[in-house]
């Protein structure tokens, strides 16, 4: 059974710092991995999607990597800003249509 774990559960950093969020999954047979951002009381905003055949994806200050064989993904945020404060969720899509989410990392960027 696929399980997704995110570390750390919470993170507080000063503005301008570069940071890394970690995601691990137990079954390497995934179709893709998606990183989301969730603001309090809101839905999920898709940040990056990495296909199982890819190693990384970049969008602006965000870079996500995938090491399928070791069951790990990282989300790198460069030059963090207070507006980056949110919960970041990692989700893996299994071979079918099911998507399994991690519990998220709550990020707080201090001005």
Neighbours of 56 (CB within 10 A): 14
Phi, psi of 84, rounded to the nearest 5 degrees = -80, -10
Distance of CA 26 to the CA centre of its chain: 16
Site for other proteins (CB under 8 A): which residue of 34, 73, 80, 85?
34
Options 11, 13, 19, 49; binder of other proteins; rule CB under 8 A: 49
Pick from 42, 55, 61, 110: which binds other proteins (CB under 8 A)? 42
Q: Applying CB under 8 A, does 102 fall inside the site for other proteins? A: yes
Stretch that binds other proteins, among 14-22, 61-69, 73-81, 92-100 (CB under 8 A): 92-100
Distance (Å) of CA 71 to CA 4, 5, 25, 82, 93:
9, 10, 5, 30, 13
Smallest gap from residue 19 Cβ to other proteins (A): 22
């Amino acid at each position: 059974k696929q399980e997704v774990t995110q570390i750390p559960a919470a993170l507080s950093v000063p503005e301008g710092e570069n940071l890394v969020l970690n995601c691990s999954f137990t079954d390497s047979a995934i179709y893709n991995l998606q990183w989301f951002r969730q603001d309090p009381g809101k839905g999920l905003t898709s940040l990056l999607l990495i296909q199982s055949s890819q190693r990384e994806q970049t969008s602006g200050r965000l870079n996500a990597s995938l090491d399928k064989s070791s069951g790990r993904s990282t989300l790198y945020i460069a030059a963090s800003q207070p507006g980056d404060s949110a919960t970041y969720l990692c989700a893996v899509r299994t071979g079918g249509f099911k998507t399994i989410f991690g519990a998220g990392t709550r990020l707080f960027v201090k001005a």
